[in-house]
Amino acid sequence: MSTVDLHTLTGAYALGALSGQEAAEFERHLVRCPACDREVRELRETAARLAVAVAEVPPAQLRTRVMAALPGVRQLPPVRREAAVVPLRRRLRNRLPQFAVAACLAAALAAGGLALDARHDADQQRDSAARAEQRASTLSALMAAPDASFHTTALKGGGTATLVASERQGRSALVYDGLPDLPQSRVYQLWYSRGGTMVPAGLLIPSGSGGSSGATLLTGTPRGADGVGVTVEPAGGSTTPTGKPLALLPV
C-alpha cells in the first residue's frame, strides 16, 4: 500500500473499520506522520460527538406504563403437539375458551386503553431507536469515506461547527458543539452555496438543553457546491436566507 493510500485511511482507522493487517500497516505509518496522527485524534473526537447526537432518551413514564399494563396482558399458552388431522368442529371447540378470553381482553383494553398506549409508546420508541441507528450508520459511513473532508469553524453567536462531506457518497453532515438555543419563533437553517446562490439544505434543531452538541445530515448533495452556510431563520425555515450567515464552511 502506497503512502498516498495510507493518508486516505484516517477516517476508516478512527472508526475501527480496517482489517488487522491494514490497521497494523497504518499504525506504523502514524508513527512517522504527525498530520495523520492529528487527524485521527480529531476524527475520534468527532465520532464521539456523533454518538451523542444519535442517542435518544426514552420517555420518563414509558417503563411505568409498560409495567402497569403487564398484569392485564395474557401470555401465550404452551405449544401443544397435536395430530396432523383434527376435525374442524373439535378445533373450534378447543379454541372457544381462547376466543372468549381474547374478546374479554380486547374489551378491557378498549375500555382502559392503558396497555395499547404502552404498546404504542414502545413501538414509537423502537421506531425512534431504528431511525437513530440508521443515522449513526450513515454518519459513520460518511466519516469513513476515503474522500471525506473535514472543515471546522466558530459560529457567530457561539459554538463551533464541523462540516463532513463526501462527494463520492453524495452526502454531508454538520457536527456542532456549544450551539446556543433559540426562541421557539426562530430556527437554525443550513444552505448549500452553489455559484453564489444559497439552496436550502435542511433545518438544525438543537436538543434544547443549552450549549447543544450533536450532528445532522444535510438534505441534498454537496456535489457542485462550494460551501455550506448556517443562518437563523423564522420557525419552519425560509426559501432564501433572511440574514447574514453565522458561518460559511468550504466543501
139 and 173 Cβ atoms separated by less than 8 Å: yes
Same domain, 159 and 215: yes
Q: Which of 1-15, 142-156, 184-198, 210-224 has the lowest mean pLDDT?
A: 1-15
Residue 221 — very low, low, confident or very high, per pLDDT cuts 50/70/90? Answer: very high
Last residue of some domain: 39, 55, 71?
55
Same domain, 79 and 22: no
Has residue 132 been placed in a domain?
Answer: no
| Residue, of 29 and 87, whose pLDDT is higher | 29
pLDDT at 245: 93
Has residue 135 been placed in a domain?
Answer: no
pLDDT at 119 over 60: no
Instruction: Write out the three cell numbers for 108.
Output: 378491557
Distance CA 129, CA 122 (A): 10
Highest mean pLDDT among 101-105, 117-121, 187-191: 187-191
Residue 99 — very low, low, confident or very high, per pLDDT cuts 50/70/90? Answer: very low
What residues contact 30, with CB distance under 8 A and at least 6 apart? 36, 37, 40
What residues contact 62, with CB distance under 8 A and at least 6 apart? 118, 121, 122, 125
**Taking residues 47-75, what's their average pLDDT?**
59
Same domain, 99 and 175: no
Same domain, 27 and 70: no
Last residue of some domain: 81, 107, 123?
123
Has residue 20 been placed in a domain?
Answer: yes
Residue 84 sits at φ, ψ, to 5 deg, of -65, -35
Has residue 130 been placed in a domain?
Answer: no
The dihedral through the CA atoms of 195, 197, 200, 203 has a sign that is positive
CATH number of residue 28's parent domain: 1.10.10.1320
Instruction: Write out the three cell numbers for 167.
Output: 462527494
pLDDT at 196 over 70: yes
The dihedral through the CA atoms of 124, 127, 132, 133 has a sign that is positive
Has residue 91 been placed in a domain?
Answer: yes
Same domain, 106 and 160: no
pLDDT at 192: 96
Angle at 216 between CA 215 and CA 222, to 5 degrees: 120
Has residue 74 been placed in a domain?
Answer: yes
162 and 134 Cβ atoms separated by less than 8 Å: no
Domain count, the chain: 3
pLDDT at 76 over 60: no
pLDDT at 218: 94
What is the span of the domain harbouring residue 70? 62-123
Has residue 89 been placed in a domain?
Answer: yes
Q: Which of 78-87, 183-192, 203-212 has the lowest mean pLDDT?
A: 78-87
pLDDT at 187 over 50: yes
Last residue of some domain: 107, 123, 139?
123
pLDDT at 92: 40
pLDDT at 204: 87
Has residue 129 been placed in a domain?
Answer: no
Same domain, 151 and 246: yes
pLDDT at 130 over 50: yes
